[in-house]
């Protein structure tokens, strides 16, 4: 039976086991031997990372042809209007082409959200808000580029779910092993 490990990656952790001397790595958090990441999260992103000991499952999770939905909680600078969410829903023109349509909706600040270290910068004169954004592709820094393209820079990015797997019940830095 295959194992899948759900890991709530903290801000600043790099998605590799090898040490770079600058950042904490997966080796500092993952106590399960012989699992490998199925995808990546940028160092400055947080949230759900899946690891597995099954190469076929790893491929199915990461292969773009399967278009596994990934939902992100995105704290943005400003308060998007419905027209901006519609742009995200239609697809956004980026330097590397038009994105696939996304699901986008306003989101109250997620309940039980852990503090980020270091904290997100706040400015007294510029409000922030949250959106839930679901995409089915995985371009480099795609969510950040999408929100910036519609005028709302990302301040904090948390991947909440991949397919049916979610962060529910996982605190920052925690992991849970499941059978796949």
Contact 130, 73 (CB under 8 A): yes
Q: Is 42 a residue of the active site?
A: yes
Structure tokens at 75: 């704290």
What are the residues facing 71 on neighbouring strands?
Answer: 134, 161
User: Of 20, 42, 164, 168, which one is the catalytic site residue?
Assistant: 42
CA–chain centroid gap for 29, Å, is: 18
Question: What is the CB-side half-sphere exposure of residue 121 using CA atoms within 13 A?
Answer: 7
Helices (H), the chain: 55-62, 82-90, 142-149
Sign of the CA dihedral with 13 first, then 9, 38, and 77 last = negative
DSSP string, 103-134: EEEEEPPPTTPPPPSSPPP-BTTB-EEEEEEE
**CA 110, 101, 92 angle in degrees (round to 5)?**
90
**CA 87, 91, 92 angle in degrees (round to 5)?**
75
Q: Just list the catalytic residues.
A: 42
């Amino acid at each position: 039976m295959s194992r899948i490990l759900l890991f709530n990656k903290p801000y600043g952790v790099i998605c590799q086991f090898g040490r770079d001397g600058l950042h904490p790595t997966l080796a500092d958090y993952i106590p399960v031997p012989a699992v490998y990441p199925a995808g990546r999260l940028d160092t400055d992103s947080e949230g759900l990372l899946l690891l597995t000991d099954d190469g076929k499952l790893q491929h199915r999770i990461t292969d773009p042809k399967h278009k596994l939905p990934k939902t992100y909680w995105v704290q943005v600078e400003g308060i998007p209007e419905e027209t901006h969410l519609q742009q995200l829903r239609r697809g956004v023109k980026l330097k590397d082409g038009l994105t696939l349509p996304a699901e986008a909706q306003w989101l109250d600040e997620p309940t039980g959200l852990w503090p980020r270290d270091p904290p997100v910068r706040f400015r007294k004169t510029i409000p922030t808000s949250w959106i839930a954004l679901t995409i089915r592709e995985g371009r480099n820094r795609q969510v950040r580029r999408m929100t910036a393209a519609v005028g709302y820079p990302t301040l904090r990015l948390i991947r909440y779910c991949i397919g049916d797997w979610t962060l529910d019940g996982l605190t920052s830095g925690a992991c849970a092993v499941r059978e796949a």
